[in-house]
Amino acid sequence: MPHSETFSDYLSRRGISRRGFIRFCAVTASALALPAGQARALAVALSAAPRPSVIWLSFQECTGCTESLTRSSEPGIESLILDHLSLDYHHTLQAASGFAAEEARATAIAEHFGEYILIVDGSVPTGEQSAWSTIAGETNLDMLSHAADGAALVLAVGTCAAFGGVPAAAAIQAPALNQSGASSVGDLMLAGLVPNRPLVNVPGCPPVPGVMSGVIAHFLAFGTPPELDDRQRPLAWFAETVHDRCPRLPHFNRGRFARAFDDAGARRGWCLYELGCKGPETHNACPSVKWNLGTSFPMLSGHGCLGCSEPGFWDRALAPDDGRFIGSAFYPDSPPD
């Protein structure tokens, strides 16, 4: 597929109706809280958007972010936005290996310098001269720095890339244990170790695919990221806490709390706050967008929120400021309070 193919051409080729496309633009414009009438502007701009080049780098991560993206199998236009991208380099998904893979990255950077979208998952090790993780003899830090230089937009997907995540976590009993010096993309930009480019954080462990496609749709249509909060997260999906939209909120408001995951209150769908739910302090779109084709999300499935999309995840899930341990009643061996 040529890079000159517009999104409109692509939809026609895939047999997607104009009506379906307009509906997608209306929903996306609403999710992005665009002013009235902007759904049409989004549709017009997005139709004409050429196929963007994307370079995806994976560092200290578990592949869950890529899994989340590739499992967004809904036949909706959200997944088509992601299909439409020219994924010129992806550590995990590409067929090429060895020299051919590194050549593909160098070619994509050279041919689309200043225009491509750089997606990063995983944190970047900075300890021991960044030697904790290298690819083809190049440290993750050097590879990120090189690729970020020519990026029009950097998307840090997943909590590891956005805030350090699990690789940056320190065990409770050994607080200085971030041995690899795992750092987020944003922190490296702030420290001047990576070129400063427009950055959007889409945290979550894993991130919600619909949020990734929404951010990309906005960028393709308007050439800018959507409005962000002070942690570089798109406000449209991260302004509210998961508590604000939780179906158990009426029980919270009436003081009805489950005390164990298998007690009568839990079976009645009562609030999981006393079982350690971090919903009130966690910003994410999971209650509205949900997972698995919109089927469910943690509190709907009976488990509290772990705070997976906030800075400090994983440590805060185990040792929150307020002393509540997630699942302590269910897992009696959880760290003592």
Residue 325 token pair: 């341990």
When CB distances are held under 5 to 8 angstroms depending on the partner's kind, the choice from ligand SF4, ligand F3S, none that residue 248 binds is: ligand SF4
The single residue among 80, 215, 246, 317 that binds ligand SF4, judged by CB under 6 A, is: 246
Q: Cα–chain-centroid distance for residue 302?
A: 23
- 297's contact among ligand SF4, ligand F3S, none, with CB below 5 to 8 A by partner kind, is ligand F3S
Residue in 304, 307, 312, 327 binding ligand SF4, rule: CB under 6 A: 304
State which residue, 5 or 281, has the beta carbon closest to ligand F3S: 281
The stretch among 50-58, 203-211, 227-235, 277-285 that binds ligand SF4 (CB under 6 A) is 277-285
Rounded-to-integer distance, Cα 131 and Cα 305, Å: 34
Nearer of residues 233 and 248 to ligand SF4, judged by Cβ:
248
Cβ(176)–Cβ(162) below 8 Å: no
Q: Does 242 bind ligand SF4 (CB under 6 A)?
A: yes
Contact stretch for ligand SF4 (CB under 6 A) within 32-40, 109-117, 270-278, 313-321: 270-278
Q: How far is the CB of 330 from ligand F3S (least distance, A)?
A: 15
- Is residue 207 within 8 Å of 289, Cβ to Cβ? no
Please tell me the distance from the alpha carbon of residue 271 to that of residue 295, in angstroms, as a whole number: 20
Please choose which of ligand SF4, ligand F3S, none residue 284 contacts, taking the beta carbon within 5 to 8 angstroms, the exact cut-off set by kind.
ligand F3S
- What's 115-179 look like in SS3? CEEEEEECEECCHHHHCCCEECCEEHHHHHHHHHHCEEEEEEECHHHHHCCHHHCCCCCCCCCCC
Helix axes 77-84, 209-222, angle to 10 degrees: 60
User: Is residue 299 a contact residue for ligand SF4 (CB under 6 A)?
Assistant: yes
Q: Which residues contact 92 (CB under 8 A, 6 or more apart)?
A: 58, 63, 66
Q: Where on the chain is the footprint of ligand SF4 (CB under 6 A)?
A: 242-243, 246, 248-249, 252, 271-273, 277, 279-280, 299, 304-305
